[in-house]
Amino acid sequence: MRAAPPPVQPASPRWMLGVIIAILLIGGGVAWLVQRSYSNEPVGRVPTPVIIPQSTSVPNQQTPRVTQTAVPFLTATPAPRFLAMPELVYARDFTQAPIEVFLRASGGDLADLTVNVAGRRQPFAKALLGQTLYYSVSPKIILALIEFQADLVSQPGQTDDRYQWAVGNYQEAGKYAGFTAQIRWAVRELFYARRDLPERPSLRFADGTSLDAPTSLSDAQYVLARVLAPTIRADRLEAALWKFQSVYVRLFGPLDAMPPDPLGPPTIGLERPLRKIFPVTSFFDHGGPFLTRNTAQGITTYWGRTETDMAFAYNGHDGWDYAAAPPDEALAAADGTVIFAGIADDNCDTLAVIIDHGADVRTFYWHLSALAVDMGQEVRVGDVVGVIGETGCAKGPHLHFGVHYAGVSIDPYGWCGQGEDPWAMHPAGAKSYWMWAGVPSPCGVVPAGDVLVDSADPAHFRIDGVPTQTTASGVGASAIFVAGQRGVDLLRSWRARPFGPVATAEWQVDVPKPGRYRLLVYVPYALSGLIDSDAVSYQIIHHDGVSEQRVNLQAVANEWVDIGSYTFDSRARVILPLRDAIGGRGIWADALLLQALDTEAP
C-alpha cells in the first residue's frame, strides 16, 4: 500500500518576491537588447517610422479626426553643394596683391615665382591674371587645379617635374609641357568647355578613350571635367570632381550654403572710352562671344539680327572695336582701379588694361601701343589709360573695348531684338544691359523729362521731295534712309547746284517748358546698299536764330550724335537737307532727342 504524499506547504512570501524580481530583470534586459539592436541600424537602411496620432480639428464635426504623421527615426544629412558656374568664372577682389598675399600664406613657392611672358619676366600672380581674366576663368580655379595635381600652392621645394606638368596634362606627345603651357591649356579648355555646354562633347581621358559625359553632371561639373578627364581614368571622374572641390575648399574656405544669386542690372554707367566718336568696325556677337571665327554662322548684333556681311565683323567677337589709331588715346569708361596693365598672355601677347569699377563690372582695353597707368592705380572716368595700337592679334590699329559683368562678357549696348537674347539663354551667358550714361537705349524707355521724336511719328516728322526706304534697325525698330540729292561740292565749288526744290527731313516738337535743351540725333548702323554721306548739315531753329551742325554719317553710325544745346521758347525745329556733295549717297533720318538742361524761361 502506497503511502500518502506529504501535505503541501504554503508558499513563502519571500520566495515569491524573488521570482517576480527575476522576471522583471530578465524582461528588462531583453527589451534593452531589442532597443539597442534597433538604434544601431546602419545609416544606409531606412528604419520603420514611428506613427504618432495627431488630433486635427475638422469643420462641422464635433469629434476630431485622427491623422497619422510619419516621423523617421533617422534624418538624412543633406549633401554639400558643388561649385556653381559663377564661382568658376569670377572671384571678386582676387587681384595681384591679394593673390600674392594668399600664395605667401599658403606655404608654397609660387609667391616668389616669375614666368616668361612675351620675352619678359612677370610675377606669377600678374601672369595668372593676364591669362584668366580675359577668358572668364576665376584665378582661384587655376590655383586649386595646380594644387590638386601638383601641390604647388601649399608645398615648397617641389621638383621641376611638378612644375613641368602642373595641371597633369601629359597628352599630345607632351605638347603642353612647361608650367605656363600647362596653365594656358587649362584656361583655354575651361573657356571652350563653357562654349560647348549646349552640346557637351565627349570627354577625353588619360588612356586615350573618349566617352560621353554623364548626364548627371551639372554645367560646372562638366566644365571642370574637361580639364580633369585627360589626367584620370573614366571610372575616377566622380571621385576626382569631389576631391578637386575639397582642395578648393581647403584653399579658399567653405562654400556658401547657396550658390550666388542671379544678378540684377549693373549699377555702373559708362562713358565713351575715346575722346570722340569713331566708326564701329566690329560688334559684340550675341550668338556666342567665344572668338570662334565661324564665318558661316555670322554675327548676331544687339538689334537681334544675324548678319553675315563682314561689315559687322566676324563670328564670335566678344567686344566692340572702334577704328581709332595712334596718337588717339583710350580713356577710362568709369571710375575704378586698374587690376591689370601690361602684356596679357591671351595667346597674342596684347598690351592691355583692365579696370575694376566695383559692383562686379570690369572694362577691357585691348591692342594698346603704350600704357599710361600702372596696376593698382585708381583712375577717374575720362583718364587716359593708354594709346591706341595694334598689338597682339589685331589687324590694323583699333581699340577693342569689352565689358565683363561678374566675370562674363556682356554687351554694353544691351539687346533690342524681338525674341530672347541668345547669349542670355546660353548656359555660360548672361543678360546684357544698355550701360551708356547720359543717353537712352534706342529700344528702351525714354528717361523722364526727355522728349523723343521718332521718324515713325507722322505728327512730328516728315520728309518731302525724295523717295524713302526703311530698315529694321534704329529707334523704334525702324529708320528711314534716302539717296541724297547732289548739293554744293565744297571741294569743287565751280560745279553748279542742281535745279529744283531741296528735299528735306524735318522734326518738330513742342517743348514741355521754355528753356535750354541738348539735342541728339540717332544714326543707325545698317546696310542700305548705299555709301553713307560723309557730310550732312542739320539746321536747328531756336530762340536765338538758326544754327548748323555738320555730321559725317559714316563715322557716327550706331550712335546718338550731339548736335548742340540751344534755347527754345515753345517749339524746337530741326531740318536736315537731304543732299550730299556727290549725290546718291545714303542719308539717314531716325530719331531726335531733347534733353532738358535748364527749363528757366529764356
Are 300 and 371 within 8 A, CB to CB?
Answer: no
pLDDT tens readout for residues 578-602: 998 888 999 999 999 999 997 654 4
pLDDT of 239 strictly over 80: yes
pLDDT tens readout for residues 44-77: 333 333 332 333 333 333 333 333 333 333 444 4
- Percentages (nearest 5) of helix, strand, coil residues in the chain: 25, 30, 50
How many CB atoms within 10 Å of residue 321? 23
- pLDDT for the residue numbered 56: 34
Distance CA 410, CA 528 (A): 28
Spell out the long-range contacts of 354-357 with Cβ–Cβ below 8 A and sequence spacing 24 or more: 354/129, 354/133, 354/134, 355/379, 355/385, 356/95, 357/268, 357/333
Per-residue pLDDT, averaged over 231-243, amounts to 96
Distance CA 555, CA 561 (A): 10
187 SS3 class? helix
User: Which run of H or E residues covers position 388?
Assistant: strand 384-388
Are 285 and 307 within 8 A, CB to CB?
Answer: no
Name every residue whose Cβ is closer than 8 Å to that of residue 4 and which is 6 or more positions away in sequence: none
pLDDT tens readout for residues 183-197: 999 999 999 999 999
pLDDT-derived band of residue 346, with 50, 70 and 90 as boundaries? confident
Residue from 353, 319, 316, 385 nearest 133 by CA: 353
Quote the DSSP letter at residue 443: T
Per-residue pLDDT, averaged over 102-115, amounts to 96
